[in-house]
Structure 1
Amino acid sequence: MTDPETPIPRNGEATARRRAVSVFAQADARFLEDAWKRLCGDREIAPLRGPETGLVMVRGRAGGGGAPFNLGEASVTRASVRIGGDSVGHAMVLGRDLERAKFAAAFDALWQIETERQSIETQVVAVVEAAMAEQDGQRRAETEATRVDFFTLMRGED
């Protein structure tokens, strides 16, 4: 049962937070640290849990939609922090980067504060999304350069 004092996030807000948390988890650790110093260097990040490193089981599906199977394990780092005594943020990042997990959780906590959200969206989320789109475009271009078109010739005597 939920606490009656805690507002239930609207679907749009939950989707926006999910997108932001995903961006924070994929962002470069140095960028997150520099952005934190630039935007809110005087705020204290109080750890609640972690950052701690562990393993998760990665699962796949045969043919993309068939029966699930265990693909293998992956290292992840998770952290939960409190900002300003009232906002709690969580993060889980792929790999063993403790600082990246801490700052990703801190930005999640900061994103939840209504007065800070727009600033975080424009100065962190949008910048990281643009960088990820550029990297994706470069990867697509490199892959396209190696494309080979195969065609079949029909032999006359068959």
Structure 2
Amino acid sequence: MSEPASPEPDTRVVQRQRAVSAFAQADGQFLADAWRRLGGDRAVTTLRGPEVGLVMVRGRAGGGGAPFNLGEASATRASVRLAEETVGHAMVLGRDRERARLAAAFDALWQVESERVAVETEVVAVVEAALAAEDHKRRSETEATKVDFFTMMRGED
């Protein structure tokens, strides 16, 4: 008897999670400018929030140890509905209500089949590229401060 295959994650779900992550990490002004270009004059109905609260930040020692509570961080969440009846949700770190509302609006817009490619190329890809560049810069700066310790043997001449 063979073992049941592990369920593969739905690619659309994975793609949406990636997009929602990009919207949540994007700069508020970038989202506002992108919404003017892509969202246009679409009606956005607020379903929940934006509301500010606290979330518990958890960590792991060494990246793989037992989880522990690191502390609390401010977060803002929002849920909106577009005229196309798609509902978007967002949760962003910080207290920026407009950024949370825009991130939720982009989540809803991403779900509109005819708009997905534009949102992917003009928002998600741009945010991911900016985050990758920022990560590369931070890693380069950290690498520049790396110290190599070594032991020298003193020999007899």
**TM-score relative to the length of structure 1:** 0.87
Residue of structure 1 in register with 2:6 after alignment = none
Amino acid at match of 1:123: E
Contact 2:84 2:112 in 1 (8 A): no
Residue of structure 1 in register with 2:144 after alignment = 145
TM-fit CA distance, 1:85? 4.8
Residue of structure 1 in register with 2:103 after alignment = 104
* Counterpart check, 1:79 vs 2:78: yes
Tell me the secondary structure at the aligned position of residue 43 of structure 1: coil
Tell me the secondary structure at the aligned position of residue 34 of structure 2: helix
**TM-score relative to the length of structure 2:** 0.88
Contact 2:86 2:111 in 1 (8 A): yes
TM-fit CA distance, 1:141? 1.6
Tell me the secondary structure at the aligned position of residue 86 of structure 1: coil
Residue of structure 2 in register with 1:4 after alignment = none
Mark the runs of 5 or more structure 2 residues left unpaired by the alignment: 1-8
Deviations 1:29-68 (CA, angstroms, capped at 9, x unpaired):
0000000001122012111000010001111223322222
Q: How does 1:45-56 map to 2 (within 5 A)?
A: 45-56=44-55
Tell me the secondary structure at the aligned position of residue 150 of structure 2: coil
State percent identity of aligned pairs: 71
Aligned residue pairs, count: 148
Range with greater deviation from structure 2 (68-77 or 136-145): 136-145
TM-fit CA distance, 1:113? 0.8
Amino acid at match of 1:102: R
Tell me, in whole angstroms, the C-alpha distance in 2 between the residues paired with 1:47 and 1:65: 39
Tell me the secondary structure at the aligned position of residue 118 of structure 1: helix
Residue of structure 2 in register with 1:134 after alignment = 133
Mark the runs of 5 or more structure 1 residues left unpaired by the alignment: 1-9
